[in-house]
Structure 1
Amino acid sequence: MGHGTRRVQAGYVVTADASAHVEDITPLPPRPLPHILFRQWWRELVFLHWAADPDEVARLLPPGTSPDFHLGRTYVGLVFFRMDHLALGRGPALPYLGSFGEVNVRLYSRDALGRRGVVFRSLDCDRLLPVLTARAAFGLPYRWARIRARRTDSGISYDSLRRDGSGAGARVRAEVSAEPYEANALEEFLTCRWGLHAQFRGRTYYLPNLHPRWTFTRAELTSYDETAIAAAGLRTPREDPVSVLYAPGVPVRFGPPLRLPRGS
């Protein structure tokens, strides 16, 4: 994808960058939304991240995008959360179908216009209709799964298993507190993302979003187990995550999809 790399002991370091300009990492959206396509809340989020092989990542991204890097490394994320109050445009939230558990595997991308985004390799969801709708309308790789979430005064847990018999899934246990946590530069790179890249009907598009500034509290990983990353086409991480984050949640708005220029 135009990036030269050399292997080092702790991961991969970029030696060439094909992008002339890449937008800054900002805690608030760098651009407004001209229209609101849909709204939702992301709640009780747990983020786990590992360094990833950029060659593996590049092969899994849609045309017109390339891996995004922080200090020469790119990452894979495993994110657990509750989706609530899904609504179309400025209309009311959808009852029942608008709230569900989700577990996703995501990569980090940039395009020829310099926009940073995420690319979802899988999105496991415990409501079938949203799965079918998102696949049909946006070409996103949603999968129907059993997801259980439990929140206590001191901890949070998620368990997911796909219903397709593949055995792919993920589990996490974390202790969380009310003590504020300030994200470091890497964690800002991983969470300050204002859109997603995906391919649908042969074209790559960018779906922009906006939400308030993230707030995090301290989290300590108790245990985890996952087969979702290998099912997404990457090697299973052998080490513990380089970052563990917990966020109470944010309201999110998405704008209409923007097609990437042909040949980009």
Structure 2
Amino acid sequence: MPGTPTLESRLVVRERPARAHVMHQRWEQLLFLHWRWDAAEIQQTLPPGLFVDTFQGEAWLAIVPFLMRGIRPRFYPPVPGISNFLELNVRTYVHDAQGRPGVWFYSLDCNQPLAVWTARAFFHLPYQHARMQAAMSDNEIDYTCHRRGEAHEARFRYRITAESHPAQPGSLEFFLAERYLLFSQSPRGIRCGQVHHTPYPLADVKLETWNLEPLLQAGFADPQRPPDHIIGSPGVDVRVYPLTA
């Protein structure tokens, strides 16, 4: 497959870019639910120029709900009522012909209209308007997402344990979590965006409730099994960089 990523190329994208970033974000209470998936099926959903990324021959689909905090442009402070919101994405893992590994998003639900507009307009990402809540009690998160125009709500109840660890390079956890590039389809073709943060502190998750609705909305069939891999993270501070070719 053209440009299949090496471990070196996966490590290189973790380095902080020399160019200026455009935005600060904090991602908190991330839940990563992953299913093994047929690589050929995933490939059929990708635009020309992108290729399914696999770990030991297997492709993966994920549902990732989390909290966005302190979102702000560079040089500006957070704005009450705008800078904190929720996001839930459905994603898979890809690379381009240059061997750059990244994420392809099928959808990104969000409960902040300005964030939806900004991401669609400037990053060409498939953001969706949704009603969302994340009630927290005794470190347990009760997370709900109801996308505009859809009949059913998705719900996730989970607790991220206190002890955390970084992913070991070359491991499945590293393949799934350590992603610093995203690809999007723009009128000018495939574009690449980059983020920078310290490696995720990963932690076990006590998962009480989970839902397949986001996968079904993305057009995938019910896998008829629980997630094949579950991991969480308390969060990271993130710098966001502008799109490039």
TM-score above 0.5, yes or no: yes
- For residues 88 and 107 of structure 1, the distance between their equivalents in structure 2, rounded to whole angstroms, comes to 27
Is 1:209 the equivalent of 2:183? no
Q: What TM-score, normalized by structure 1, do the two folds share?
A: 0.85
Choose which of 74, 90, 94 in structure 1 pairs with 2:79: 94
Once residues 192 and 87 of structure 1 are traced to their aligned partners in structure 2, the CA distance between those partners, rounded to angstroms, is 23
Counterpart CA distance in 2 for 1:118 and 1:213 is 16
User: Which of 9, 16, 20 is residue 35 of structure 1 equivalent to?
Assistant: 20
* Distance apart, 1:202 and its partner CA: 4.0
Aligned to 1:50: 35
Q: How many residues align?
A: 242
Aligned structure 1 segments of 4 or more residues deviating by more than 4 angstroms: 181-184
Instruction: Give the TM-score normalised by the residue count of structure 2.
Output: 0.91
Q: Give the match for residue 101 of structure 2.
A: 116
Letter in 1 for 2:209: S
Identity of aligned residues (%): 34
> Secondary structure in 2 aligned to 1:134?
helix
Of 137, 146, 150, which aligns to 1:161?
Answer: 146
**Compared CA separation, residues 151 and 20, structure 1 to 2 (3 A):** closer
CA contact (8 A) 1:66 1:109 kept: yes
1:19 aligned onto 2:3: yes
**Distance in structure 2 (CA, Å) of the matches to 1:127 and 1:256:** 21
Is contact 1:27–1:188 with CA below 8 Å preserved after alignment? no
Q: Deviations over 1:143-165 (max 9, x none)?
A: 1111111223342221101122x
Partner of 1:235: 221
Shift of 1:238: 1.4
Counterpart AA for 2:22: L
The reply on whether 1:176 has 2:160 as its aligned counterpart is yes
Quote the offset at 1:192 in angstroms.
0.4
8 Å Cα contact 2:110/2:132 also seen in 1:
yes
Cα distance between partner residues in 2 of 1:103 and 1:34: 28
Q: CA RMSD in A?
A: 2.0
CA displacement, residues 130-176 of structure 1 (integer Å, 9 cap, x when unaligned): 11221122221111111111223342221101122x22542111233
Secondary structure of residue in 1 paired with 2:173: helix
Distance 1:44 1:172, change over 3 A: same
Residue 67, structure 1, aligned to residue 55, structure 2: no
Does 200-209 or 31-40 show the bigger shift? Answer: 31-40
1:19 is displaced (CA, Å) by 2.5
Confirm or deny: 8 A CA contact 1:108 1:118 kept in the other structure.
yes
Q: Which amino acid aligns with 1:122?
A: S
**8 Å contact from structure 1 (residues 155, 174) kept in 2:** yes
Between the aligned partners of 1:168 and 1:106, the Cα distance in structure 2 is 20
Change beyond 3 A, Cα 1:152–1:194: same
SS at match of 2:57: coil
Distance in 1 (alpha carbons) for counterparts of 2:18 and 2:166: 27
Matched AA of 2:158: A
In 1, the alpha carbon distance for the partners of 2:239 and 2:63 equals 22
Match of 1:132 in 2: 117
Q: Contact 1:198 / 1:205 at 8 angstroms: preserved in 2?
A: yes
Q: Which residue of 1 aligns with 2:230?
A: 244
Which residue in the other structure is 1:253 paired with? 239
Q: Which structure 2 segments of 5+ residues have no match? A: none
How many angstroms does 1:28 deviate by?
7.6
